[in-house]
């Protein structure tokens, strides 16, 4: 009976060792995701207060950029 338990234990150890070695050879990690390509937006400065904001959010008047309509109107009145 002791021989049977010895060989059974030996078989279990061999099975565990085989499973461990087969896992380390082929990593099971999912491939890393790459972030989608997002276009970079230019940052402009408000001609009135100096606030920096993305060009898409700025109001344009001639060559100047403004952060809000009040600043655009205040700049145009001063001219």
Residue-level pLDDT at 79? 59
Is 17 in contact with 31 (CB distance < 8 Å)? Answer: no
Residue-level pLDDT at 39? 84
Q: What is the mean pLDDT of each run of 10 residues along the chain (79 residues)?
A: 88 88 64 82 94 94 93 78
Q: How many C-beta atoms surround the C-beta of residue 72 within 10 A?
A: 20
Q: What is the pTM of this model?
A: 0.50
Q: How many C-beta atoms surround the C-beta of residue 73 within 10 A?
A: 14
Residue-level pLDDT at 28? 63
* Host H or E run for residue 70: helix 69-77
Residue-level pLDDT at 13? 93
Q: Is residue 52 part of a domain?
A: yes
Domain hosting residue 71, numbered range:
41-79
* CA angle centred on 56, ends 50 and 45, rounded to 5°: 15
Coil, strand or helix: which one is 12?
helix
**Number of folded domains in the chain?**
1
Q: Is residue 12 part of a domain?
A: no
């Amino acid at each position: 009976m002791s021989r049977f338990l010895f060989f059974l234990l030996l078989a279990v150890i061999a099975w565990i060792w085989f499973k461990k070695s087969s896992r380390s050879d082929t990593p099971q990690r999912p491939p890393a995701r790459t972030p989608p390509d997002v276009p970079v937006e230019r940052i402009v400065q408000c001609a009135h207060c100096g606030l920096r904001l993305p060009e898409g959010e700025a109001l344009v008047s001639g060559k100047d950029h403004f952060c809000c309509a009040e600043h655009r109107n205040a700049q145009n009145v001063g001219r």
